[in-house]
């Protein structure tokens, strides 16, 4: 790998780097737009299916979409070889966090859930430091503190654990979102450490199959007594195929090409799309407090991940 740039020559190497950069930036924006819509579709599904069945149907649809692609590409031997690790990633990166988010969306807005989801890179940086021994500078430590302060401020009005008229306490929803973010952070470091070099399609398909197997029995146990309507099924079809199947191919490719921290930072942009979709299609409101707290979280997370480095000479 290291010999190729010198063989290409400096201008050619620069061209390759530029093309690679453009490639991951395109994946980055595409993923943000897709995952922004996932909150809308998850909300529509969870209202009729419930949290665990929503997550289970989502990953099952994604697995059914991805497995034939793995077979057609001749990648089944790779999937069989790495099934244990891809299945574990599926539980950490899909099954468990999807269930938490679906639960949260039953009592908080898609905009609030997506802003909380923007803490994923912050948790990812903390976990990478603890597990992968990634270096934390003083600015990155300050970023963690700022980011967590932003979360605390945002959750302040939602921190009640008393049941509301709908029977759901918003404080539990906020906690569920943050637990989902921790799962995402653990999964990103695990993927980088143990699944680097594996084709993104194999990681995506194996993870969704693992999540499906892990959620199958709990979902059947909690399956709604009344069959959900067509709109709920269509919402989960969209979130399963587009927001999970296609999105995770892009996500694992982004980890491979841009690294886990940069890949996780896509959650900075996801709330922009999620809030827009929520306002347009669900009539949700966006308060100045939410916008201000979101700005604090994004700034803190940008510092924590090293994307923003004050004083660095370019």
The answer to whether position 83 is within a domain reads: yes
* CA separation for the pair 1, 19 (Å, rounded): 17
Note the pLDDT tens digit of each residue in 15-30: 444 445 557 888 888 9
The answer to whether position 309 is within a domain reads: no
Give me the mean pLDDT over the 120-147 stretch. 82
The answer to whether position 311 is within a domain reads: no
pTM: 0.81
The answer to whether position 314 is within a domain reads: no
Q: How far is CA 101 from the centre of its chain?
A: 10
* CA separation for the pair 100, 250 (Å, rounded): 23
The answer to whether position 140 is within a domain reads: yes
- The reported pLDDT for the residue numbered 3 is 42
Kindly state the percentage of the chain with pLDDT values over 70: 86
Q: Which domain holds residue 157?
A: 23-304
The answer to whether position 29 is within a domain reads: yes
Count of the separate structural domains present in the chain: 1
The answer to whether position 100 is within a domain reads: yes
- The reported pLDDT for the residue numbered 159 is 57
The answer to whether position 5 is within a domain reads: no
């Amino acid at each position: 790998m290291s010999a190729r740039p010198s063989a290409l020559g400096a201008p050619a190497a620069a061209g390759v780097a530029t093309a690679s950069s453009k490639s991951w930036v395109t994946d980055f924006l595409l993923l943000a737009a897709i995952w922004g819509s996932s909150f809308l579709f998850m909300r529509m599904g969870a209202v009729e299916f419930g949290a665990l069945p929503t997550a289970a149907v989502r990953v099952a649809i994604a697995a059914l979409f991805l497995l034939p692609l793995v077979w057609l590409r001749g990648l089944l031997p790779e999937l069989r070889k790495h099934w244990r690790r891809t299945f574990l990633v599926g539980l950490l990166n899909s099954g468990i966090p999807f269930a938490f988010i679906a639960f949260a969306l039953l009592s908080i807005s898609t905009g609030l859930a997506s802003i909380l989801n923007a803490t994923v890179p912050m948790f990812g940086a903390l976990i990478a430091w603890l597990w992968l021994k990634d270096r934390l500078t003083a600015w990155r430590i300050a970023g963690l503190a700022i980011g967590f302060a932003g979360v605390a401020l945002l959750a302040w009005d939602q921190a009640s654990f008393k049941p509301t008229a709908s029977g759901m306490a918003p404080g539990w929803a906020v906690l569920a979102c943050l637990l989902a973010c921790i799962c995402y952070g653990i999964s990103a470091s695990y993927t980088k450490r143990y699944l680097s070099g594996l084709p993104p399609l194999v990681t995506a398909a194996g993870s969704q199959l693992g999540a499906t197997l892990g959620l199958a029995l709990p979902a059947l146990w909690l399956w709604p007594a009344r069959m959900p309507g067509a709109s709920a099924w269509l919402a989960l079809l969209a979130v399963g195929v587009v927001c999970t199947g296609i999105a995770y191919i892009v996500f694992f490719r982004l980890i491979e090409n841009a690294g886990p921290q940069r890949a996780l930072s896509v959650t900075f942009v996801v709330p922009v799309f999620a809030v827009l979709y929520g306002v347009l299609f669900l009539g949700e409101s966006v308060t100045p407090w939410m916008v201000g707290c979101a700005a604090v979280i994004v700034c803190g997370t940008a510092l924590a991940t090293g994307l923003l480095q004050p004083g660095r000479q370019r």
